Amino acid sequence: MTVEHEETRLRADARRNRDQILAAAKELFADQGPDVPMEEIARHAGVGVGTLYRRFPDRASLLREIARDTFSSVLLDARAAVDEEPTAWDALVRFLRITQKVKLSVQLAMLSPLARAVFAEDPKTEEFRREALGMLDLIVEQAQAEGSLRPDVGAGDVTIMFSLLLRELPSKSTEVASFATERCIALMLDGLHARPGSPLPGRAVTSADIFQGA
């Protein structure tokens, strides 16, 4: 095996270990909360504790990577929605379903002071967040221009509405929680669709309003 092939194999192994650790951490954090022992995460990922700590020397670095991995994935999916869907409304529906990917990060931030601090202080996570809201701004404007989205709402309204879905549902049944979420999404989308309806108080909430309150 050449040096180049050996380096390629090592990079592939490192990437696989990273992905396994992140997948295990996400699963365990979702099931057991943010204080799962790092050793348990390593065991669940099928890697040695030393391997985990070489990649993520502390819990903060692991939480940071989870946030970055999640938001970068959301951004890729959002861009694909804009490029691939036939209408802006279809892109909006797809984007809003994509937001379920960030549910774990939101719940971690609510439950863990450490996670909340890590997410708030990481410039890369903030950059991803701003880009995602920028994509939503574009989709909202295009949907309103095509006449499919009611004209008296802004991207901030949509963000606030769907952020409610990122919280843990009260049902203890996974099955009920799943279809309840789908029902809520359908009801919210129905309320966003352009048609005669109840007038909204105040003015449209924008993405800028969201950041001013952060």
Check residue 5 and give its pLDDT. 56
State the average pLDDT for the chain.
86
Largest CA distance in the chain: 70
Q: How far is CA 188 from CA 36, 96, 97, 163, in A?
A: 34, 10, 12, 12
Check residue 133 and give its pLDDT. 85
Helix (H, G, I), strand (E, B) or coil at 13: helix
CA-based nearest residue to 135, from 72, 192, 86: 72
Check residue 105 and give its pLDDT. 81
Distance CA 30, CA 25 (A): 8
Check residue 199 and give its pLDDT. 84
pTM over cut 0.85: no
CATH class held by domain 59-212 = mainly alpha
Q: In the chain, which stretches have pLDDT less than 50?
A: 3, 213
Check residue 161 and give its pLDDT. 84
Question: What is the domain partition of the chain in residue ranges?
Answer: 1-57, 59-212
CATH class held by domain 1-57 = mainly alpha
Q: 16 in the Ramachandran plot: left (φ > 0), alpha (ψ -120 to 50) or beta?
A: alpha
Q: What is the DSSP string of 119-137?
A: HHH-HHHHHHHHHHHHHHH
Tell me the one-letter amino acid at 187.
L
